[in-house]
């Protein structure tokens, strides 16, 4: 992010536009929506500028920009349609201490003006850092269609009511009141009575919320999927936007955490195999503590919460404490990893069953039905198996598994940095010991990338770019 988005206070402050033609007029169309004091300097102003000055909407100075003109100005726009003149104006304005925008000159501007959706006081600014103005306009048009003009009216009336709403406790209770107002009471009141009905609607709604029972805490056990934010379910996305507290695993990607409500408390409850971690008892205690305080807690787990994530222990802790809970499934790593290498986890005439196993548990390397796993055409997704590759290899081969059985280790499934390491069971341990893993790894036993089934030598490491070529 090369430009940090902020909303600048301009009420009663000076904004200067240097230029008297179409470019200056275009900037004024948006600047005149503000409460700033606007001055325009132009030695040959367009008739429209003269009219605006006569109406008292701008101060028009009919001469070129001079030293000292930008003293105490908040912003200066150089909009002369003349590169040397714009550069001169910018140099003088900077010397006066003002922030300068040279129209259509991103590299020499201290700020940029975004595309704006205006539902005053609701204002949405859309910026692309100058890279894609067409895209910004398209997003603006889409939002203009979605947001009713009455939204600004509801917000203006609601703004004046904020002091009265402080009778509600801060946090979830107050947010529920405002959500009820903006999404239910306000639209209904405007439709029936117009602006005149909003004050009564707010007063009635506040009385209703004050009389309601205290908000009860709850915990949603949510699957964050394998890491790609676009694979998050709609329900999970909605709950993240409402949560007061998010207790998340190490495997939850930063992109997904960015979707949490900005005011939410984020707690890293990361667990790492064979490494330091927060204990399960501590995680359960955190959920119960915040839930009893009336908070809406999202327990965010990588993948699906019902697969190797100690879901039952957390549910038991919540039920013992009398806290309401729900489960929101997520896409598990096995599905994402198989999709990434272009394979199906089950296939007619190959396997009618899929094994999902763990490479290690709390007691160490996990024992499995090795004889069943060693049968020909078996497909298994082995979670947390990279560190136990030699153990897994040995057990399978002891029970008759073919050393040429394909195995694909997928790291960071679904994420931009994903990679697939293709090998065989006989080479599994040696291949993985040569690799350095920084993200979660799942072993797909019995599967290799579709193109590698006949064409690729083993072992081989595939990147995302390789897979694009395979399926092109």
CB 257 within 8 A of CB 246: yes
CA–CA dist 39, 379 (Å, integer): 73
Cα–Cα distance for residue pair 294/276, rounded to 1 Å? 30
What pLDDT, on a 0 to 100 scale, did the predictor assign at position 472?
Answer: 45
pLDDT digits (tens, 9 = 90+) for 247-274: 999 889 999 999 998 889 999 997 655 4
Q: What is the mean pLDDT of residues 74-81?
A: 94
Kindly state the average pLDDT of the residues 317-342: 96
Strand arrangement, sheet containing 265-268: 265-268, 245-248, 296-301, 218-223, 324-328
Whole-model pTM: value is: 0.69
Q: What is the pLDDT of residues 125-170, one digit of tens each?
A: 998 887 788 898 899 999 988 888 888 899 999 988 999 999 988 7
For residue 454, the tally of other CB atoms under 10 A from its CB is: 6
Asked if 244 and 171 count as a contact pair (C-beta separation under 8 A), the reply is yes
| Per-residue pLDDT tens digits for 273-321 | 544 578 999 999 999 999 998 899 999 999 999 999 899 999 999 999 9
pLDDT at 424: 94
- HSE-up of 299 (CA within 13 Å, CB side)? 32
Q: How confident is the model over 104-133, as a mean pLDDT?
A: 86
> In this predicted structure, what is the pLDDT of residue 2?
79
Element (H, E) at 422: strand 419-424
Which residues are catalytically annotated?
Answer: 249, 271
What's the pLDDT at 130? 76
- Mean pLDDT score, 353-376: 88
Helices of type H across 360-425: 370-373, 389-398
Decide: residue 169, CB within 10 A, 0-12 exposed, 13-18 middle, 19+ buried. Answer: exposed
52 Cβ neighbours under 8 A, 6+ residues apart: 28, 32, 40, 58, 60
- Residue 154 β-bridge partners: none
CA pair distance 411, 340, nearest whole angstrom: 10
210-246 in b/e burial notation, b at 16+ Cβ within 10 A?
A: eeeeebebbbbbbbbbbbbbebbbeebeebbebbbbb
User: Which residue, among 434, 422, 432, 435, has the nearest Cα to 462 in the 3D structure?
Assistant: 422
Asked whether the predicted pLDDT for residue 12 surpasses 90, the reply is yes
* Range 257-265, long-range pairs (CB < 8 A, 24+ positions): 257/300, 258/229, 259/229, 259/232, 260/298, 265/290
pLDDT value of residue 4: 83
Question: What confidence score (pLDDT) does residue 456 get?
Answer: 46
pLDDT score, position 39: 96
Bridge partner list, 409? 421, 443
Q: Using one digit for the tens of pLDDT, what is the confidence trace for 14-62?
A: 999 999 999 999 999 989 999 999 999 999 999 999 999 999 999 999 9
Question: What kind and span of H or E run contains 90?
Answer: helix 83-95
Q: Is the pLDDT of residue 239 over 90?
A: yes
Percent of the chain with pLDDT over 70: 94
Question: At 352, is the pLDDT very low, low, confident or very high (cuts 50, 70, 90)?
Answer: confident
Tell me the C-alpha to C-alpha distance, in Å, between residue 318 and each of 167, 284, 351, 453.
31, 8, 39, 47
- Percentage of residues in the chain with pLDDT exceeding 90? 66
Lookup: tokens for 384: 């947390």
pLDDT band at 223 (very low <50, low <70, confident <90, very high): very high
Mean pLDDT, residues 75-96: 95
Task: Say yes or no to pLDDT of 101 above 60.
Answer: yes
| DSSP symbol at 303 | B
Angle formed at CA 223 by CA 217 and CA 225, multiple of 5 degrees: 150
Q: What is the pLDDT of residues 407-466, one digit of tens each?
A: 999 999 999 999 999 999 999 999 999 999 988 999 999 999 987 765 544 555 555 555
Least confident span in 188-197, 216-225, 318-327: 188-197
């Amino acid at each position: 992010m090369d430009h940090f988005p902020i909303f600048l206070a301009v009420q009663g402050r000076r904004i200067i536009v240097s230029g008297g033609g179409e470019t200056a007029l275009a900037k004024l169309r948006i600047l005149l929506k503000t409460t700033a004091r606007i001055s325009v300097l132009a030695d040959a102003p367009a008739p429209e500028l003269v009219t605006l000055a006569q109406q008292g909407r701008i101060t028009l100075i009919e001469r070129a920009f001079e030293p000292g003109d930008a003293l105490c100005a908040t912003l200066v726009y150089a909009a002369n349609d003349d590169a040397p003149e714009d550069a001169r104006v910018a140099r003088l304005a900077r010397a006066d201490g003002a922030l300068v925008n040279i129209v259509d000159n991103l590299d020499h501007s201290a700020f940029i003006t975004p595309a704006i959706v205006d539902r005053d006081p609701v204002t949405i600014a859309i910026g692309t850092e100058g890279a894609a103005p067409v895209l910004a306009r398209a997003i603006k048009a889409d939002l203009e269609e979605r947001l009713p003009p009455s939204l600004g009216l509801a917000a203006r009336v609601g703004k004046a009511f904020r002091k009265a709403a402080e009778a509600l406790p801060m946090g979830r209770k107050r947010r529920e009141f405002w959500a009820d107002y903006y999404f239910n009471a306000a639209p209904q009141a405007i439709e029936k009575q117009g602006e005149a009905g909003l004050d009564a609607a707010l007063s009635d709604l506040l009385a209703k919320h004050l009389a309601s029972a205290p908000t009860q805490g709850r915990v949603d056990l949510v699957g964050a999927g394998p890491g790609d934010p676009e694979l998050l379910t709609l329900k999970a996305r909605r709950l993240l936007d409402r949560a007061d507290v998010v207790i998340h695993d190490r495997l939850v990607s930063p992109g997904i955490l960015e979707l949490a409500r900005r005011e939410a408390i984020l707690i890293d409850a990361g667990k790492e195999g064979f490494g330091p971690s927060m204990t399960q008892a501590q995680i359960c205690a955190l959920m119960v503590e915040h839930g009893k305080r009336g908070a809406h807690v999202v327990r965010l787990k990588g993948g699906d919460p019902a697969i190797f994530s100690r879901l039952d222990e957390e549910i038991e802790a919540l039920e013992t404490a009398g806290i309401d809970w729900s489960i929101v499934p997520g896409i598990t790593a096995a599905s994402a990893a198989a999709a990434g290498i272009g394979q199906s986890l089950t296939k007619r005439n190959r396997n009618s069953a899929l094994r999902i196993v763990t490479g290690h548990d709390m007691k160490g390397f996990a024992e499995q039905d090795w004889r069943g796993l060693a049968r020909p055409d078996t497909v298994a997704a082995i979670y947390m198996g990279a560190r136990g590759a030699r153990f897994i290899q040995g057990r399978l081969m002891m029970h008759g598994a073919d050393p040429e059985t394909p195995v694909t280790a997928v790291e960071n499934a679904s994420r931009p940095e994903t990679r697939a390491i293709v090998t065989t069971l006989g080479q599994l341990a040696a291949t993985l010991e040569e690799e350095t893993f920084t993200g979660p790894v799942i072993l797909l036993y019995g599967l290799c990338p579709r193109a590698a089934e006949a064409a690729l030598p083993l072992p081989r490491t595939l990147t995302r770019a390789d897979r694009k070529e395979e399926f092109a």
